[in-house]
Amino acid sequence: MNAGADLTLIRERKPLVHQITNYVVMNETANATLALGALPVMAHALQEVEEMATAASALVLNIGTLSDAWVESMVLAGLAANRAGVPVVLDPVGAGATTYRTETSRRLLAELRIAVVRGNSAEIATLAGRSAQIRGVEAVGEAGGPELAREAARELGAVVAVTGPVDHVSDGSTVHGVANGHELLGTVTGTGCMSTAITGCFLGVRGDDPLAAATEALVAFGVAGEDAAKKAKGPGSFHVALYDALYDLDPKKLDSRAKLS
C-alpha cells in the first residue's frame, strides 16, 4: 500500500472515472472526484454507457436511486468495462432495505466482475447472507468488524470495504483496518457514496491491486475528513471543507497519517 504515491499518480494521470450513480449525490461525487484530482463523468443512457465505460479508467456503480432503466445501463456499462479491463466498484446503497435493492445488488454481482464492493455493515452483511438491520440506507446496530469484511469478500468474490467508525477492507484473506475519518462524515448525506467514488479514482491508477486501491481510498478520504473537521462548525461547513481538504491532501504526508491495523 502506498497511498501517497498513488494519489500523485491520480493527479498526474487524471483517470476518467465513469459514474452511474444516484440522483442525490451526483454533484457531490463528481466534485469529490475532481477535488482529489481525477476526472468524473456521469452518463447513464443505454446508447452511450458502453462507449463511456470503455474510455474510462474505472467504473462506479451506485444503486442509491435505482430504477429498471438505470439497472440495465449499469449491467451494460459493467459488461463493457469487464471486456475492456476497466475495474468496477459497486456501492449497494440500501441493500437489505428493500427487496429490489438486495436483488439488484446480487444481480450486478452475479453478472459482472466487480473489483471492489464498498458499503456499510448492514448492506455488506445482507449481501453476504447474514442478518442485518438497516433503516433506509443507514446501518443500525453493531459495526461489521474485520470478520464481516473477510467473509463477505470470500462470499462475493471481490474485495470488500465495510465502512464505519473503523473501516475494514479485505480480499478474503488479508484484512486492513482503517481508523481514519471523523464522526461529522455521518452528518452529511452521500459521504459513503463519495468514498466509493474515491475508491474508483484509486482503482483508476491501481486496478491491478484492488485491495490496495480500496484501502488507500479510505485512508485518503478519512484523512480529508479529519482535516475538514478542524474547520467545521457543523454538517454544512464540514461538507464544504471536505472538498477543500481533498484538494489539499498532501501525498507526502498521506501514508504517515494512515491509521492502519
Interface ranges with a copy of itself (CB under 8 A): 14, 16, 18, 22-28, 30-31, 34-35, 39-48, 51-52, 55-56, 64-69, 94, 97-101, 135-138, 187-190, 233-237, 239-248
Rank residues 53 and 159 by Cβ distance to a copy of itself and give the closer one.
53
CB of 154 to a copy of itself, least distance (A): 29
CB of 233 to a copy of itself, least distance (A): 5
d(CA 65, CA 23): 6
229 close to 223: Cβ distance less than 8 angstroms: no
Rank residues 33 and 180 by Cβ distance to a copy of itself and give the closer one.
33
**The C-alpha cell that represents 68 in the structure block:** 429498471
Q: Between β-strands 88-91 and 116-120, what pairing exists: parallel, antiparallel or unpaired?
A: parallel
Rank residues 212 and 242 by Cβ distance to a copy of itself and give the closer one.
242
CB of 23 to a copy of itself, least distance (A): 5
Rank residues 172 and 192 by Cβ distance to a copy of itself and give the closer one.
192
First and final CA of the chain: distance in angstroms? 13
CB of 47 to a copy of itself, least distance (A): 4
Residues in the chain: 261
CB of 104 to a copy of itself, least distance (A): 9
Rank residues 35 and 109 by Cβ distance to a copy of itself and give the closer one.
35
d(CA 22, CA 18): 13
Which distant-in-sequence residues (6+ apart) come within 8 Å of 143 by Cβ?
A: 121, 162, 164, 165, 166
> The cell 454481482 sits on which residue?
109
In angstroms, what CA-CA distances link 172 with 12, 52, 64, 81?
A: 31, 31, 26, 23
